[in-house]
Structure 1
Amino acid sequence: MSDRPRASLRRILEDLGSTVLDVAVSPGELDTEVTGVHIYDPLDELLLPEGGILLAVGVDRAEQICALLDAVGPAAGVVVKQPMDVDDLVRVKVRETGVAVLGLTRAASWAQVAALLRSLLAEGDLTEPGETPPDDLFALANAVCALLDAPVTIEDRSSRVLAYSGRQDEADPGRVETVLGRQVPERYRRMLEQRGFFRQLYQSREPVYMELDDDIINRVAVAVRSGDEILGSIWAVVREPLSEQRQQALVDAAKIVSLQLLRQRAGADTRRRLRADLLSTVLAGGGDAAEAAGRLGIASERLCVLAAQLSDGPDADASRGESDRQRFCDAFALHVGAIHPRAAAAMVGSVAYAVLPLHAAGEEEPRSLRVAESFLTRVGSRHAANIGVGRMARNLTEVARSRADADRALRVLRARGASGVVAGYTGVHFESLLLQLSDLVQAEEQTPSGPYRRLLDHDTEHGSELAATLRAYLDAFGDVNAASARVHVHANTFRYRLKRLTEISGLDLADPEARLAVMLQMRIFGP
């Protein structure tokens, strides 16, 4: 493990720059260690761990800010969207609590700043200014900025911003929008593609200078490669072509960024495997569950398991790439992490599992269902998926049962051919039992028996539809008119068929046990 300092509030503010965040009121030094990013919800209990940054959505008045400062404990900072009401009471409260109040630029969304802060924290151990470790993309971006005397972004193949340097306020509005959204806006991507700039960039091993429109400052970019594989690119905002010396500096920087991206890819895979292994141990609920939960930093009491799976068609798992499933799981983990700091999610096989702590007694399943429904609403058509929700587990020893519940609910949704649906285990309990019974029947190679068997044999031999007639009658709860309409025959014809099937099968329709037996066989074996 590294013994370098972890992320400090001062370092994060310097990396983000005044384009996004600035300090509204400071208690003094900003060397507080930042441990995570959390979103304020006035309807939820405020559980902010030490060193957390709270995004105070909807808070702008001085009395609201003071109340939050009293409630957050030893937090690193509270972020409030500008313009905000900062008066002497707020300044006094900041000095008393030692919690900084930060101002978020009006142009940024809360989703953007949450993603920015979490990506900075996910970079690993951030160093203090003056140190430039080789595994910090933001430090590399700042170093390239200094070499080129121009603001820089490092982007992946999809034009998502992986890191950026300072001095972005010197660039044009398009670059500022790119940094805030962590993604090159679609209209700029389309313009670059139409002019063939991406083709030039990925075909050349040298920097490519791009002359753009009058309202956009020109760019110079170089592809980041690993052999023949394009990993991403470095973009600098410039007003004229680079000198030969600076072009070489950009080429050399691309090689260093390539090594870092490869290292991050390998490290991310390792961390994901470790996280999946630890969460699998928690879900198993054995003797090692407590230690695994401790290493993951998740709660150990009043837990609920959610099982999420992509659902684009019956063969979704076979056709989905690993990267698609992992992006879906990452989004799922971000969602549950924003709801509760002691939640965790990881991909186990083709299913993304989440362990979600619950607060209030008596409302466990409705809250879990709302969390799952909210996630599916947010990802929308980008990730068509189903989520099964297990029953509440009072402690880690019951987590395995909650996981089994979630798996069974998810299986019911797959059997229905559903997509974009959330199901709690209690809501699909009977369907789940029928699927389990069907598994047992198939494992023991059992076949229909008794009256139902005789009806099926008669239909096969004579081409009749007596089994369908019986199903319609039972589904209509004995209503002959409704049942006959369902199979498109006259009511008298239906009555004749009903009499005929009882004679052939020996079924006593007045016997509730006999009706139950034949209905179960119909559900398990089909018509």
Structure 2
Amino acid sequence: MPTTGLSRGSGTEQVTLERLLSVVGRGSLEVYSAPRGLTIEVQGVAVWDPQEPRPAPGQVVLAVGMEPQSLDAADLVRAAGRCGAAAVIFRHVRSGVSTATLHHAAADAGVAVLFRTGWVGWAQLVGALRAGLTAAGVPADPDIAQVALGDLDGLAEAVAALVGGAVTIEDVRSRVLAYSTTDADVDEIRRLTILGRRVPRWRVAALREAGFFSALWGSGDVVHRPAEGGIPERLAIAVVAAGEVLGSIWVASVGQPFPADSADALRRAARAAAPHLLHHRSCRTGEAHLIQDAARALLDGHGSAEVLAIRAGVPLEAPCAVIMVCAEPRDPDQASGVESGRTTPGSGGDPRSRLHDILALYSAAHGHQAFIVPKGRDALVLICGLATGPDQAAAQVARRSASLAQQLSADLGTQVRIGVGETASRLDQAPASRHSAELALRAMRFTGSSRGTGRVGELAEAVALLRIMDTLREVDVPRDTPVRRLADYDAEHGGSALVDTLRAYLDHFGHIPAASRALGVHPNTFRYRVRRLRDVCGIDLDNPNSRLLADLQLRLLGHGGSHM
């Protein structure tokens, strides 16, 4: 049985399954069966290997690739019990699948059975268990032991008292998770950080350029930032568990120098903070996925508004609206990670991830009750808690959308378009708002509009044409039409010259100088191509019905249509 290298080292406290689960959190694991309770000791984590079916005692066994409802799963649990394993983890079970055989096997073997949640992959789970096993075995610092696990506000207050200063606890992207209160005047950096719930971007850039983040993440120790102007000195340290950076703790001096033992106190605080940050991350991840799943189901038309209202605490009767956000693709060479100053996991440069992250930050910073649902390279945003009057609510959404388009375009360095849905009077009407938002965005894309936002009513011509095109795609059109013949000819000759010529001719109402300029060819060359396409496909360009049919079929051809 191969292990993942996840075992407790010397000098750590005994870790029970209950303690490990409390640190890792319900966002990653669910208890299915625990016949011996949760107080059994955990020694490490191992991946099940059928070729070496003997895990060491006290292991949490990962049953990768094993179907939990299968007879093989029951046999695995019994074999794990004979070896003294603490627990076996299977993937999440689909709704309606019976696992009674697995439950009986767990009872017979005396082994706990856990399921990983649907939004956590095996690789992510291994990292969480690895960090959790380390963090759970760290002896509690007496000055922080009274803080409930995951209470980051209480943790910030305890660290402030322990170290002597004003504390912020941040994630790896410089977003504020918690901060301590103080009666003293705070410096401008701290004020801006707390108000924006993240370190200002210009400050992050300055710290990155000075090499401060490299020292913070790489040293494994307290890093001192001297006072500069009106900004007091600061101490910072990364919070790490089993080599994974979970976040950082920053302490600013308040009116007086740090005590002599402040660095030692901060080191102790960072060790004690690891299980809190890991627990917080897992729980927040689980809750966020449950809410996002409820929002996605509602907007897709098969979910319940009541479920989302209960999970997220939003009113059923208040107005809401959906917007659909699209960041147009950039040159791959320009793609980069979020400007966070981090080289840690989680700061990757996926543009879609950047879009979703900035949307979340914008909503949080502006106090929006908003739920973000990724849709490929786009994102749906359900905005709740709008003004009660329909006109006021619509104006509110329009202002927020315009501001968001401007900010996203600046942050991402690319064009951002937002389709603005019609305001709904109730939460259960959100799917209709989503439909109008999606239609508005499609209309802007269809016309190549440079505007940042748009509603269906503002894009009536484009929307009407889109609906006509959607209908035509379902119409069985005779194959032997002039445009079809022209497209086949171009395909046989390895190009699209004649189709492009016809399109330019129709787009410019037969005006040869303008059409030839659009294609970048000489007017005489364009006239020759027009004569040639008439000969090839037999189109009568003097007949308005022929021009109408050709124009519609060319638009279908240009937007992925197959019915020509």
Q: 1:149 to 1:492 in 2, by over 3 A?
A: closer
Q: 1:285 to 1:461 in 2, by over 3 A?
A: closer
1:79-158 aligned within 5 A: 133-158=148-173
RMSD: 4.5
Corresponding position of 1:507: 539
Corresponding position of 2:269: 253
Contact 1:387/1:410 (<8 A) preserved: yes
Corresponding position of 2:236: 221
1:264 to 275, 280, 290: 280
Q: 1:367 to 1:517 in 2, by over 3 A?
A: farther
Cα displacement (A) at 1:519: 0.9
Cα displacement (A) at 1:508: 3.3
2:350 to 320, 337, 347: 320
Give CA-to-partner distance per residue, 1:398-436, whole Å, 9 cap, x none. 543332332343345556777883232341314533664
Contact 1:329/1:345 (<8 A) preserved: no
What count of residue pairs does the alignment treat as equivalent?
A: 389
Corresponding position of 1:525: 557
1:182-201 aligned within 5 A: 182-184=197-199, 198-201=213-216
Contact 2:320/2:382 (<8 A) preserved: no
Greater RCO (CA < 8 Å, at least 6 residues apart): 2
Write the distance in 2 (CA, Å) between the matches of 1:329 and 1:454: 47
Write the distance in 2 (CA, Å) between the matches of 1:196 and 1:499: 67
Task: Quote the sequence identity (%).
Answer: 33
Corresponding position of 1:432: 466
Amino acid at match of 1:352: L
| Paired residue secondary structure (1:407) | helix
1:343-382 aligned within 5 A: 344-350=370-376, 351-355=379-383, 357=386, 360=389, 368-382=397-411
Give CA-to-partner distance per residue, 1:252-276, whole Å, 9 cap, x none. 3212322222222112211211211
Does structure 1 residue 454 correspond to structure 2 residue 470? no
Amino acid at match of 2:328: S
* Deviates most, 152-161 or 261-270: 152-161
Does structure 1 residue 329 correspond to structure 2 residue 393? no
Write the distance in 2 (CA, Å) between the matches of 1:394 and 1:177: 36
Q: 1:301 to 1:512 in 2, by over 3 A?
A: farther
Write the distance in 2 (CA, Å) between the matches of 1:379 and 1:460: 40
Corresponding position of 2:326: 309
TM-score by length of 2: 0.56
Write the distance in 1 (CA, Å) between the matches of 2:508 and 2:380: 40
| Paired residue secondary structure (1:169) | coil
Cα displacement (A) at 1:525: 1.8
Write the distance in 2 (CA, Å) between the matches of 1:396 and 1:187: 38
Write the distance in 2 (CA, Å) between the matches of 1:332 and 1:452: 48
Write the distance in 2 (CA, Å) between the matches of 1:382 and 1:452: 43
Q: 1:459 to 1:376 in 2, by over 3 A?
A: closer
Amino acid at match of 2:418: I
Cα displacement (A) at 1:249: 3.4
Write the distance in 2 (CA, Å) between the matches of 1:224 and 1:516: 67
| Paired residue secondary structure (2:238) | strand
Cα displacement (A) at 1:152: 2.8
Write the distance in 2 (CA, Å) between the matches of 1:191 and 1:504: 64
Does structure 1 residue 167 correspond to structure 2 residue 182? yes
Contact 1:473/1:479 (<8 A) preserved: yes
Q: 1:189 to 1:335 in 2, by over 3 A?
A: closer
Contact 1:456/1:467 (<8 A) preserved: yes
Q: 1:191 to 1:479 in 2, by over 3 A?
A: closer
Q: Which runs of 5+ in 2 are unaligned?
A: 1-145, 337-347, 560-564
Q: 1:290 to 1:284 in 2, by over 3 A?
A: farther
| Paired residue secondary structure (2:402) | helix
Corresponding position of 1:402: 433
| Paired residue secondary structure (2:550) | helix
Contact 1:332/1:345 (<8 A) preserved: no
Q: Which runs of 5+ in 1 are unaligned?
A: 1-130
* Deviates most, 256-265 or 152-161: 152-161
TM-score by length of 1: 0.59
Write the distance in 2 (CA, Å) between the matches of 1:473 and 1:373: 36
Give CA-to-partner distance per residue, 1:219-252, whole Å, 9 cap, x none. 33332112212223323345666545x5443323
Q: 1:249 to 1:322 in 2, by over 3 A?
A: farther
| Paired residue secondary structure (2:271) | helix
Contact 1:307/1:406 (<8 A) preserved: yes
